[in-house]
Amino acid sequence: MLEIQDLGLQPYSEIWALQKSTLEQRAAGQIPDQLLLTEHPPVYTLGRRFQPENLLDPGDVPVIAIERGGDITFHEPGQLVVYPIFLLTDQRRDLRGFLNGLEQVLINTLAEFGFTAERDSRNTGVWIQGFKVASIGIAVRRWVTWHGLALNINNDLALTQNIRPCGFDAVLMRSLQQLKGEALDIAKIKQVLIEQIYHWWQPK
C-alpha cells in the first residue's frame, strides 16, 4: 500500500521535520509507505558530499545541511519535489537499484509529455539533450528511504547562479519550460509521476 500526501508549497524545514517523523512511523510499522509531493520557497540544501567551493554566494537564501547524499542543490517554486518514505524490504535492499528506479520513473513520466530523457552513468539524475532537469539524492535509516527527487518544471533557475549545483556549472541546468518554450501543467505531471511510481513500487 502507498499513501500520497500532496502538500503544496511548504517551507523546507517543515517538510524536513515531517519526513523525519514519517520515517520513524514507517520504520515502526505504524503506517504504510508514504509519498510526499511538494514545492519549496527558495532554499539551498547541502548533502553529505558538499564541497564548500560549490556555494558561491547564497545571498539571503537559507542554506541547510541535510542527510542525503550528493553535493549542493536548490529548491524554488515551480520545481516539483518528491519524497518517497519507503521501506526497503529484503528483496529491495539495493540502493543503486532504488536510485535507478527513481530515474526510470522520471524518464517514463517525461516521455508522456514528449521529452526524451536519459540517465548519465556517472551522475545520478535525469537529463534531456545534455541538460540536467532532475536531481536525485536520498538517505536511508532503518531501511526506510527519505529525501528524494526534484524535477525542474516551470522554475526560472535563478538560484543556480549562486551555486555549482551538484558540482556542475549552472549552465547545464534547465527546466522543462525552458526546453519547451512554454509553461507546463504541474498538476498533470504530478499525476503521471504518481502513476509511474505506483507501477514501479507496488508489489507485482
Strand order, beta sheet including 118-120 = 2-9, 33-39, 79-85, 144-152, 131-141, 123-128, 118-120
Residue 123: predicted pLDDT: 86
Select which of 110, 136, 144, 166 is catalytic: 166
Task: Give the residue numbers spanning the domain of 86.
Answer: 2-201
Predicted TM-score of the model (pTM): 0.96
Q: How many domains does the chain have?
A: 1
Under the banding of pLDDT at 50, 70 and 90, the label for residue 183 is very high
Q: What is the pLDDT of residues 52-81, one digit of tens each?
A: 999 999 999 999 999 998 999 999 999 999
Residue 184: predicted pLDDT: 98
Q: What is the pLDDT of residues 106-129, one digit of tens each?
A: 999 999 999 999 999 888 999 999
Q: What is the pLDDT of residues 82-100, one digit of tens each?
A: 999 999 999 899 999 999 9
DSSP 52-75: GGGB---TTS-EEE-SSSSSEEEE
Mean confidence (pLDDT) of the chain: 95
Residue 175 has pLDDT above 80, yes or no: yes
166 is catalytic: yes
Residue 28 has pLDDT above 60, yes or no: yes
Contact 170, 160 (CB under 8 A): yes
Under the banding of pLDDT at 50, 70 and 90, the label for residue 204 is low
Mean pLDDT of 12-34: 98
**What is the domain-level CATH number for residue 174?**
3.30.930.10
